[in-house]
Structure 1
């Protein structure tokens, strides 16, 4: 009966190790949101109001250097840059890198919210012809017709 007990204990330990491994992997984050969160200094006081999904980070490096770092790890779907900052669009998230003091502030947010917020800057360069969602007509009978 003792050998069976060892198999049960070994199985329980293996299951526990698997659970711990999954928690570590899933909590570290993937994609540009996870990468920025793991490599830049969190600055909650700079979060944009009205967007619960927005997270602000800072870097002592200029926006162009920060952008090169992020895009080297995570290639954006599209990007736009002007004097106000660098705007990176990914499938679900957007990363907006703007100059701040001698470094940068990095905002990571939902791509739809970012497009609405920065439409005057990014315009159709992100691949949408109008502020995303404005021309959608499928809201139900009689809506927008």
Structure 2
């Protein structure tokens, strides 16, 4: 009888593992920082594309990993991911773009004048963060 239970438990465990292996690897819409790092040149606290305008760079990044939301303010582009914001601004040389990645809270406070009336304030009682957990 014990052998039958062990075999049943083994079969159930194998089936559960096989089911998990077939599920896609969903990272919950994380910012494509590795892709950005490989695609653009490092510059100071961010990355730079010395030729493409902000609109093109935003399309490239969003094309690699779709953002939860996108926002434009003048020449600036903002991509919202699960826990992060990607800001694309014109390069100071007048050509190209600067790409910065910040966690949502820091990015919101830094770029509040551009995104504050559109995206939720992470310090408000109504804000629901993107991470796992209860109470949402």
Answer yes or no: same fold by TM over 0.5: yes
Displaced runs of 4 or more, over 3 A: none
Question: 1:80 pairs with 45, 48, 71, which one?
Answer: 71
Q: Secondary structure at 1:125's aligned position in 2?
A: coil
Q: How does 1:40-79 map to 2 (within 5 A)?
A: 40-44=40-44, 47=45, 56-60=46-50, 61-79=52-70
Q: Distance in 2 between matches of 1:92 and 1:86?
A: 17
Native 8 Å contact 1:81 1:87 kept in 2: yes
- Which residue does 1:23 correspond to in 2? none
1:107-141 per-residue CA deviation (whole Å, 9 max, x = no partner) reads 01111111111111112322x1xx321447xxxxx
Structure 1 runs not aligned, ≥5 long: 1-29, 48-55, 137-145
Q: Would the aligned equivalents of 2:31 and 2:82 in 1 still touch at CA under 8 Å? A: no
**1:111 corresponds to which residue?**
104
TM-score (norm: length of structure 2): 0.63
Counterpart CA distance in 2 for 1:78 and 1:122 is 11
**Which of 113, 120, 129 lines up with 2:113 in the alignment?**
120
Aligned twin of 1:11: none
SS at structure 1 position matched to 2:34: helix
Equivalent pairs counted in the alignment come to 94
TM-score by length of 1: 0.59
Matched with 1:52 is: none
Give ranges in structure 2 of 5+ residues lacking alignment: 1-29, 127-136
SS of the equivalent of 2:67 reads: coil
Match of 1:102 in 2: 95
Asked if the contact 2:68/2:82 (under 8 Å) is kept, the reply is yes
Greater relative contact order: 1 or 2 (C-alpha under 8 angstroms, separation 6 or more)? 2
Bigger share in helix: 1
